[in-house]
Amino acid sequence: MVTPYLMFFDAPADMLVVTGTDGEIGILAGHTPMVAALAPGELRLRIDGQWRIAAASDGYIEVGPSLAVVVVNSAEWPEEIDAVRARRALERARSRLEDPDTSKQEKERSRLAFRRAEVRLKVAGKMADRAKGDFRAAALPADPPAPADHSTEK
Ligand code: ATP
């Protein structure tokens, strides 16, 4: 699985589930060769019986006799997702979509940006659930460091 920035994942997996433009596609060994367009969505990999989840953007998948190649514009594991950044991207896209002056082309771009942000928040949230953490807390910026106490200085 590759993005323009890096080789995201390159190892054997028992099963792969990707988000196609018409819904989820599950791929097991021996799947019929195919090529399909991908929409921003979750990507799930089962490795040694354990599921790993990632947020993926648009791209395509090519399934061959012994290999599935996924090429997407971006992909992140849950722990790599900056939830604050995703929430800002979501709000930016939402306000562009609500603005009557936004062109049709810009609306289409904003719809994709909205979906990417939504998927990132969902995938980051799943990680927080698993860690029994609070997703809302994870979405808030860290507190600034407390000011140094100089009260005892002469
Ligand atoms: P933004 O407006 O915040 O840049 P975007 O959806 O336009 O969001 P992309 O163009 O999809 O961003 O991604 C550009 C790069 O930034 C990719 O490497 C992607 O993995 C990374 N990226 C984007 N958003 C996040 C995020 N919330 N957390 C971590 N990495 C992110």
Q: Whose CA is nearest to atom 29 of ligand 1?
A: 81
Nearest CA to ligand 1 atom 2: 89
Please tell me the distance between residue 102's alpha carbon and the centre of ligand 1 in angstroms: 22
**50-57 contacts: CB < 8 A, separation 24 or more?**
52/77, 53/78, 53/123, 53/126, 53/127, 54/8, 54/9, 54/78, 54/123, 55/81, 55/116, 55/119, 55/120, 55/122, 55/123, 55/124, 56/18, 56/19, 56/119, 57/112, 57/116, 57/119
Q: Helix H segments across the chain?
A: 83-98, 104-130, 135-138
pTM score of the predicted model: 0.83
Strand 68-72 and strand 75-76: the pairing is: unpaired
pLDDT per residue of the chain (154 residues) written in tens, 0 to 9:
999 999 999 999 999 999 999 999 999 988 999 999 999 999 999 999 999 999 999 999 999 988 999 999 999 999 999 999 999 999 999 999 999 999 999 999 999 999 999 999 999 996 566 554 443 333 333 333 444 444 444 4
Three-state SS at 15: strand
Hey, which of 8, 74, 112 would you mutate to test ligand 1's pocket, going by the most ligand atoms within 8 Å of its Cβ?
A: 74
The pLDDT value recorded for residue 66 is 85
Pocket residues for ligand 1 (CB within 6 Å)?
Answer: 5, 57, 73-74, 76, 80-82, 85-86, 89, 113, 116, 120
